[in-house]
Amino acid sequence: MRSDREQTLEAEIAHIRALGFDELRNLWRSTFRLPPPPAFTKDLIARFICWHIQEQAVGGLDQNTNRLLDGLARDDKPSANRFRRFRPGTVLMREYQGERHTVTVVSDGYLWRDVTYASLSTIARAITGTAWSGPRFFGVCTANARSNDLAGEKRTQLAKEGARPQSRSISQPRGLPASRSAQR
């Protein structure tokens, strides 16, 4: 059973969604005291206005979410070993050597083949028979961590093949002829 407040909010959002483009632009101007950005579509204008109305009615984002969004806006790089935290019920799938492995996030760990494990790495090790980073194996680490891992894999592969990885000289940036790097 919905409260009157929720019903009123839903009705207002439905009304906004039904407005035409010019009406939405006028509503934006009266709400934010500025014209909407020229690139915003009708749908995007409506979403922003609806978000604003919901924020006024039930509050904004919590402090942790605001901090995360501020960091992303500043282009802060997450630490290499950080990965997403998933809610219980989230399902992770990975196909390995032709077999599909499904892991379900539960409140006290990860469920795989009817057994609960404390970490994804333990499951990755059981699947592969070798030491793996579980978040990396299941593809849930950040892009930055993945690129660091790929660079590490390349170094490991080169070492196995007996080759030495190429290193760049600090005074000679890649792609610049020697004459240009000397000018720097």
Residue 170: is its pLDDT beyond 80? Answer: no
pLDDT value, residue 137? 87
Q: Among 97, 96, 124, 131, which residue's Cα sits nearest to residue 110?
A: 124
pLDDT higher than 90, residue 126: yes
pLDDT score of 59: 86
| DSSP 8-state symbol, 93 | E
The average pLDDT across 39-56 equals: 92
Note whether 150 and 157 are within 8 A (CB): no
Q: Which amino acid is at 130?
A: T
What pTM did the predictor assign?
0.41
Q: Which of 16-25, 26-35, 131-140 has the lowest mean pLDDT?
A: 131-140
CA-CA distance, 57 to 7, in Å (whole number)? Answer: 12
Beta-bridge mates of residue 141:
83
Round to whole Å and give the CA distance between 125 and 46. 48
pLDDT average, residue stretch 25-30:
95
Q: Mean pLDDT across the chain, nearest whole number?
A: 77
Question: Lowest mean pLDDT: which of 9-23, 80-94, 138-152, 167-181?
Answer: 167-181
* pLDDT (average), residues 134-154: 62
Summarised one tens digit per residue, pLDDT across range 54-108 is 988 888 888 888 888 888 788 766 554 445 578 888 888 888 888 999 999 998 8
